[in-house]
Amino acid sequence: MDKEKFVPEISSQLRGRSVIVPEAIYRASGIKILGTRIKSLLFSTDVAIIKNTNANSIIAVYPFTPQLSITHAILEVASVPVFVGVGGGLTTGQRSIQIAIQAELLGAYGVVVNAPMQNDVIREMKKILDIPIIATVASLNDDYRGKIDSGVSILNVSGGSNTVEMVRVIRGVLGREFPIIATGGPTEESILDTIDAGANAITYTPPSTGEIFAGVMKKYRNEL
């Protein structure tokens, strides 16, 4: 049996308060995107957290109309690949396509379309973009096969408590080679279950800045 490889680690006193993704994520196979192997995606638009994490990449999706000023700010701060939300619900059609083009030109590694995005919009987007389109799948009722046929390169499974089962079903339908990202849940066990079901990469939702700061302030108060 091969011994586990020893990994030397260099730390910093000033950067010790980083958002560290769970170790279980490294059990995933990863997805090689534009030459970079990605296993972890941090789900955040908080530039302070994005600047202080060891995640392989950032998935910047938010519940508002996509704005290039937000995309630019995140890309300016991030030191890892960024995948940018370009709509699908409130924002769609030519507006989403134009936002996707601008995101590519600003340096995004890929664009993320929300579950309601129509296949004809994905098809038109694919004709123009050189970076991959990632489609979020929220239910097994979603036409994920149609989205793939329209030009989606990666699925992002986000089904809450049903995610593991959804990944297992989708993996069974698509076979072993199609790339799947999925939410891993809050524990190492749930992450491993998601990977075992067939996810190649895991999105991780970090604690908020407020939650992190609360812990810091509690520590400060105890030291006084």
Q: Does domain 23-223 have CATH number 3.20.20.60?
A: yes
Q: Are 60 and 86 in contact (CB under 8 A)?
A: no
pLDDT of residue 81: 98
Q: What is the pLDDT along the chain (224 residues), one digit of tens a residue?
A: 556 778 888 877 767 678 999 999 999 999 999 999 999 999 999 999 999 999 999 999 999 999 999 999 999 999 999 999 999 878 889 999 999 999 999 999 999 999 889 999 999 999 999 999 999 999 999 999 999 999 999 999 999 999 999 999 999 999 999 999 999 998 999 999 999 999 999 999 999 888 888 887 877 788 77
Q: d(Cα 9, Cα 150) in Å, to the nearest integer? A: 44
pTM (2 d.p.): 0.91
DSSP assignments along 74-108, one per residue: HHHH-SS-EEEE--SSSS-HHHHHHHHHHHHHHT-
Give me 58's structure tokens: 């950032």
Q: Where are the alpha helices (DSSP H) in the chain?
A: 47-51, 68-77, 93-106, 119-128, 144-150, 163-174, 188-197, 209-223
The identity of residue 77, as a single letter, is: V
Domain residue ranges in the chain: 23-223
